[in-house]
Amino acid sequence: MPESPKSAKRPLRSLITGGAGFVGSHLCERLIAEGHEVICIDNLLTGRRENISQLIDHPRFVFIEHDVTRPIDVPQLRSRTDGRLNPGNHLDYVLHLASPASPKDYARHPIHTLKVGGLGTYHALGVAKAYQSAFLIASTSEVYGDPEINPQNEGYWGHVNPIGPRSCYDEAKRFAEAITMAYHRQHGVRVRIARIFNTYGERMRLDDGRVLPNFIPQALEGRPLTVYGDGRQTRSCCYVSDLVDGLYRLLVSNETGPINLGNPEEVTILELARKVIEQTGSSSTIVFEPLPVDDPMQRRPDITKAQTLLGWTPKVALTEGLAKAVSYFKDKLHETGASRPVAAH
């Protein structure tokens, strides 16, 4: 088993790409709480400095603005820590979370999304190989495409349109999994593959474009909630604290994966819109727009492997998570005072 912070002779050190993003920033906090030294890399394309502002002055945390589509200079990382991390030659974990993650973002940055999944994963794996670190790749339920089975288990190979408008993200993540396993087989890199399903919570951007950052501000401002298609497509929404717990459990395990991480509480988009209206006490109506190309009709994880191998099960029910998310978005709207356009789920 990998060393735990309590048993290690020296603090564990982790490098996390995309660490200023929505999920990445929460994972940075978890790593710090577990006693790790953390080197956070982000190019701030979709991540934000404010997500990690509470960590910037922590003696075991360093932020480096860098685009992982360019090589990661490990000696330079050691020399740019200002002495706070007692720079040395060890790196226990590399966590690769860098990537645009919402349809709005990867539609705007399709080539960069492909480069992050390809070159970014290659560069991060190179660091893990050089340091003999364990490597965690944040993959996605999008590798299943518009699935033909429900729920989706890790043995399902997916139903993806390789040239569709979503392919820049879907295929980037499928390639990322492939090169990760190639490094595992050829170079013996210890890898962990997490397939992340829909996640929500604090630090999502108001203009994120995914379903809940669309619905909740619309409801809070009394605007119509935009549902694409007839709303019968389903999603399974996992609160961010549950996801981070699953990622950390996978990281410190000896499981290669892939392992699904998500909440199997499935709900239709139309039901979700109604729940948001109820949770916010809004008078908003619901309007329907055409369904985007290749928008998946079903999303529900089979989490048997996560339960059996990691002892992980989501704890935050949708009603509880929505209450927290509504409070967060209410505060963000108060800060900005501006309305945002909607985007695809």
Under a CB-based contact definition with an 8 Å cutoff, are residues 189 and 129 in contact?
A: yes
150 and 268 in a single domain? The answer is: no
Instruction: For 51-79, write each residue's pLDDT tens digit.
Output: 999 999 999 999 999 999 999 986 555 55
E strands present in the chain: 13-17, 37-42, 61-65, 93-96, 134-140, 191-196, 199-200, 225-228, 234-236, 238-239, 259-261, 266-268, 286-289
62 and 35 in a single domain? The answer is: yes
344 band by pLDDT with thresholds 50, 70 and 90: very low
Backbone angles phi, psi at 311, to 5 degrees: 65, 35
Task: Share the mean pLDDT of the chain.
Answer: 92
- Model confidence, pTM: 0.92
Residue 7: inside a domain, yes or no? no
Residue 245: inside a domain, yes or no? yes
156 and 224 in a single domain? The answer is: no
222 and 107 in a single domain? The answer is: no
122 and 150 in a single domain? The answer is: yes
Residue 341: inside a domain, yes or no? no
Query: Which domain range does residue 325 map to?
Result: 211-235+264-300+316-336
183 and 221 in a single domain? The answer is: no
280: its two tokens: 């916010």
Residue 5: inside a domain, yes or no? no
Residue 231: inside a domain, yes or no? yes
100 and 64 in a single domain? The answer is: yes
Q: How far apart are the first and last CA of the chain?
A: 39
CA distance 283 to 126: 53
More confident call, 6 vs 22: 22
Under a CB-based contact definition with an 8 Å cutoff, are residues 96 and 121 in contact?
A: yes
Give the DSSP per-residue string, 225-243.
Answer: EEEETTS--EEE-EEHHHH
Strand partners, 236: 266
Give the DSSP per-residue string, 119-155.
Answer: IIHHHHHHHHHHHT-EEEEEEEGGGGBS-SSSSB-TT
98 band by pLDDT with thresholds 50, 70 and 90: very high
Residue 343: inside a domain, yes or no? no
Sheet holding 13-17, edge to edge: 61-65, 37-42, 13-17, 93-96, 134-140, 191-196, 259-261
Residue 79: inside a domain, yes or no? yes
134 and 155 in a single domain? The answer is: yes
109 and 136 in a single domain? The answer is: yes
Report the catalytic residues: 169
Backbone angles phi, psi at 58, to 5 degrees: -70, 135
CA distance 22 to 259: 21
> Is the predicted pLDDT of residue 81 greater than 80, yes or no?
no
112 and 257 in a single domain? The answer is: yes
Residue 3: inside a domain, yes or no? no
SS3 86: coil
Pairing of strands 234-236, 266-268: antiparallel
CATH number of the structural domain spanning residue 223 = 3.90.25.10
The number of folded domains in the chain is 2
33 and 168 in a single domain? The answer is: yes
153 and 221 in a single domain? The answer is: no
> Is the predicted pLDDT of residue 188 greater than 60, yes or no?
yes
CATH number of the structural domain spanning residue 81 = 3.40.50.720
Which residue, among 99, 177, 179, 159, has the nearest Cα to 299 in the 3D structure? Answer: 159
